[in-house]
Amino acid sequence: MIINHSSIIELNREALANNLKFIRSLIKEKTQLSSVIKGNAYGHGIKQMVPELERLGVNHFSVFSSFEAKIAYQYTEKNSTIMIMGDITVEDKKWVVRNEIEFFVYNIKTFQSLLAEAKKLNKKLNIHVELETGMNRHGFDEEELNHLFKLLHENKNHFNLKGICTHFAGAESSTNYKRIQEQHQRFSKSVERFSKEGFKAEKLHTSCSAGIMAYPEFNYDMVRIGIITYGLWPSKEIQLMYNVQKKTELDLQSVLSWRSSIIDIKNVKAGEFVGYGTSFLAETDMKIASVPVGYGYGFSRSLSNTGRVLVKGKRLSVVGTVNMNMFLIEVTNVNVEVGDTVTIIGKDGKQTINVSYFGNLSEQLNYELLTRLDKSIPRVVI
């Protein structure tokens, strides 16, 4: 296979199937699963993940923006639904309306402009009203709802109320417990006001990955699940909590591996510096190999002199600074050749470097690290 790149991202189909089973074991059968594929499917690739998730029975996808929605649209089946949770660009308004894409409504002005578009195109908008319940990021607070209700009454024939939703400000940490309880109370109160006004939403939804584990009572009709789909924990605390409660026998499995190969091997004499500057001094004679991956592809510069990779089942150290397109590893006592596989994330023999280990070393969240993986790296499903 020609990969046309210096590294490759492998996506493990079995791990994904396992994670879907895990998720479904935590929610009721009637609760719809919306797979969150924002951030290029958390770095895994929208193009690759959408068909795989559909094969596993997912038919609802959440993205952040209209431009992600357009990518997802290319790869989804006819009966799948796409929901935009954030930005609809001015240029994309027509496309969103014409293709009946679902989207969050979180302010009057954007909603009005989309209503105008719907009337022009003789279409109905598929809206999810987002409520501001305490995160103070997006959505209608209690006061603004009056204005929204007026608008909804005036435009009754131009929208389907697909959902009413909110987002919790940090379900992955118990320090936010009180705030989330308050958010839920505000949510319930506002949902009641919708019924008093005569509006009934098809679905209520509030929960993300951490939500379904820490607050299953708030799952409602649909859950928006990102990080655990890919086999990663939203936080250490949730992982610990889950392992104590063990609500299912299943465990998460990481979907993504990232591999490259050695392109050169050099002998360095004791007393020489390695790489740019003076951050690494060879204290003995040593053998150094170069790997054609750098911060330009998402291998953080903070891994300079601290990162680890796997070659031939052995854990090896990154030496010197990480460059834009390259980093160096010490291979003194290992029998390696040019062309040998270097595992940056994933399993090699008995050793594994998981995303969170890699993330801890580079002081990045799982979420952050994954979305920084360069889009041009080929993603292949195995």
Ligand X SMILES: *Cc1c(COP(=O)(O)O)cnc(C)c1O
Q: How far is the CB of 60 from ligand X (least distance, A)?
A: 12
**Rg, the chain, Cα only:** 24
Binding map of ligand X across residues 40-79, x = CB under 6 A, - = no contact: ----------------------------------------
Q: Long-range contact list for 37-41, CB < 8 A, 24+ apart?
A: 37/61, 37/62, 37/63, 37/68, 37/72, 37/226, 38/62, 38/63, 38/64, 38/65, 38/68, 38/85, 38/86, 38/226, 39/64, 39/367, 39/370, 39/371, 40/68, 40/371, 40/375, 41/230
**# residues contacting ligand X (CB under 6 A):** 12
Residue with tokens 């007393």, as numbered in its chain: 271
Binding map of ligand X across residues 186-215, x = CB under 6 A, - = no contact: ----------------------xxx-----
CA–chain centroid gap for 206, Å, is 17
Give 84 or 268: the residue with its C-beta nearer to ligand X. Answer: 84
Which residue's C-beta sits nearest to ligand X?
A: 226
Residues 274-293 that bind ligand X (CB under 6 A): none
Cα(352)–Cα(15) distance, rounded to whole angstroms?
15
If you write DSSP's letter for every residue of 303-339 in order, what string do you get?
Answer: GTTT-EEEETTEEEEEES---SS-EEEE-TTS---TT
Give 288 or 373: the residue with its C-beta nearer to ligand X. Answer: 373
* Of 21, 200, 276, 357, catalytic: 276
Examine the residue annotation and report whether 276 is marked as an active-site residue of this protein.
yes
Q: Among the candidate windows 175-183, 219-227, 260-268, 355-363, which touches ligand X by CB under 6 A? A: 219-227
Closest CA to 263 of 237, 290, 235: 290
Q: Is 263 helix (H, G, I), strand (E, B) or coil?
A: coil
Question: Judged by CB under 6 A, does residue 344 bind ligand X?
Answer: no
Instruction: Name the binding residues for substrate.
Output: 137, 324
Main-chain dihedrals φ then ψ at residue 190, nearest 5 degrees: -70, -35
Question: Judged by CB under 6 A, does residue 231 bind ligand X?
Answer: no
* Of 38, 73, 230, 297, catalytic: 38
Are residues 347 and 257 in contact, defined by beta-carbon separation less than 8 angstroms? yes
* 93, 158, 167, 259: which one binds ligand X (CB under 6 A): 167
The token duo for 282 is 């060879």
Examine the residue annotation and report whether 38 is marked as an active-site residue of this protein.
yes
Q: How far is the CB of 146 from ligand X (least distance, A)?
A: 24
Give the CB-side neighbour count of residue 96, counting CA atoms within 13 A: 33
Question: Judged by CB under 6 A, does residue 225 bind ligand X?
Answer: yes
Q: How far is the CB of 23 from ligand X (least distance, A)?
A: 10
Q: Among the candidate windows 73-81, 224-232, 277-285, 340-348, which touches ligand X by CB under 6 A? A: 224-232
* 43, 163, 226, 346: which one binds ligand X (CB under 6 A): 226
If you write DSSP's letter for every residue of 149-174 in order, what string do you get?
Answer: HHHHHHTGGGEEEEEEE---S-TT-G
Residues 76-135 that bind ligand X (CB under 6 A): 85
Give 43 or 346: the residue with its C-beta nearer to ligand X. Answer: 43
Cα(204)–Cα(124) distance, rounded to whole angstroms?
20
* 8, 26, 36, 105: which one binds ligand X (CB under 6 A): 36
Give 138 or 312: the residue with its C-beta nearer to ligand X. Answer: 138
Q: Among the candidate windows 222-230, 245-253, 286-294, 351-359, which touches ligand X by CB under 6 A? A: 222-230
Active site residues: 38, 276
Binding positions for ligand X, rule: CB under 6 A: 36, 38, 85, 167, 208-210, 224-227, 234
